[in-house]
A and B are shown apart, each in its own frame.
Chain A
Amino acid sequence: QQQVKQSPQSLIVQKGGISIINCAYENTAFDYFPWYQQFPGKGPALLIAIRPDVSEKKEGRFTISFNKSAKQFSLHIMDSQPGDSATYFCAAKTSGTYKYIFGTGTRLKVLA
C-alpha cells in the first residue's frame, strides 16, 4: 500500500525552465516532509524539507509548497540546470516515530 503517491514518474525540462514534482499523502499523522535527490550509483541526499505548520519553504532555487488541507506537497526547481538531472524522492515521516515512507521517485532530465 503506497501511502505517498508521487508524480510524474519522469520529467524532461529545458535548461532555465521550472521543474515541478508533486506528492500526495493519506496519513494525517505525518509530521515531516523531506525531498531527496539521488544521482546514479549514489545514496539519496536531503535537498529540502518542510513541517506541516509551514505552507512554503525556499532554499535557493528549490521551493517546497505544502497544502495541508489537500494533503499535497510539491517541489519546484527554478532555473533548472543540467546538473539537476537526477532522481527525486518525496518522503513523509510518521509523527512520534522514525518511520519514513518514500514516494516512488521522479527521474528528471534537464536538457542543455
Chain B
Amino acid sequence: NAGVTQTPKFQVLKTGQSMTLQCAQDMNHEYMSWYRQDPGMGLRLIHYSVGAGITDQGEVPNGYNVSRSTTEDFPLRLLSAAPSQTSVYFCASSFTRDYHEQFFGPGTRLTVL
C-alpha cells in the first residue's frame, strides 16, 4: 500500500491564481481531512469528509473548496490564491471516526507570491 499520497510536493503560485492540491489514499478509508501547518500554530483543520459525497468545514475553510467523488481521492482547491495561504498542507485519512489513527501524507509546500 502506498498509504496517503499528495501531489505536488512543492508549488509556487502568484496571487489570484487557482490550483488543486491532490490527495489519494489506497487504504479504503472513509474519513479524510485537509490541514494546513504554519510556524507556531500547529495544524489547523481546513475541510474534512466522512465519505464519498459528504464534506464539511473545519476551523479555517475560507478560500478553499473540496469535493469527494470517490473514496480514494480528496482534492483541495484554492479558488484565488492569497499570500496568507502560503503554508504546508497535509492530507490525512482514517478508517473510522473514533479512536483510530489518522495517517498523514507527506505534505505539499505552497508559496503564494
Partner-B contacts on A (CB < 8 A): 6, 9, 31-32, 34, 36, 41-46, 49, 51, 89, 91, 93, 97-105
Within 8 A of A (CB), among B85-103: 90, 92, 94, 97-99, 101-102
Instruction: Tell yes or no: B44 within 8 A of A by CB.
Output: yes
Task: Name B51-102 residues within 8 Å CB distance of A.
Answer: 58-59, 90, 92, 94, 97-99, 101-102
Cα distance, A93 to B97, chains bound together (Å): 10
* A43 x B101 contact (CB < 8 A): no
Scan B40-56; emit 1 where CB is below 8 A from any A CB, else 0: 11111100101000000
A42 and B106 in contact (CB under 8 A), knowing A98-B48, A105-B42?
A: yes
For B41, the chain A residues whose CB sits under 8 A away are 104
**Contact, CB under 8 Å: A46 / B42:** no
Contact call A44/B43, Cβ cutoff below 8 A: yes
A102–B43 alpha-carbon span in the complex (Å): 6
In the A-B complex, the 8 residue pairs with the smallest Cβ-Cβ separation, listed nearest first, are A43-B104, A102-B42, A102-B43, A46-B101, A104-B42, A98-B97, A44-B104, A98-B31
Contact of B33 among A49, A100, A105 (CB under 8 A): A100
Give A45 to B101 CA distance when docked, in angstroms: 9
Check A98/B50 contact, CB under 8 A, given A42-B106, A43-B90.
Answer: yes
State the CA gap A19–B90 with chains docked (Å): 27
* Nearest-neighbor residue (CB-CB) of B3 within chain A: A43
Determine whether the beta carbon of B97 is less than 8 Å from that of A103: no
Q: A42-B106, A43-B104, A43-B107 are in contact. Are A31 and B43 (CB under 8 A)?
A: no
Shortest Cβ distance from B44 into A: residue: A102
Specify the chain A residue showing the minimal Cβ separation from B48: A98
Q: How far is the CA of A76 from the CA of B48 in the complex (A)?
A: 31
Chain A positions within 8 Å of B35 at CB level = 102
Chain B residues with Cβ under 8 A from A44's Cβ?
A: 43, 90, 104
Tell me how far the C-beta of A102 lies from the nearest C-beta in chain B, rounded to whole angstroms.
4
B58 A99 Cβ-Cβ under 8 A: yes
Minimal beta-carbon separation of A59 from chain B (angstroms):
13
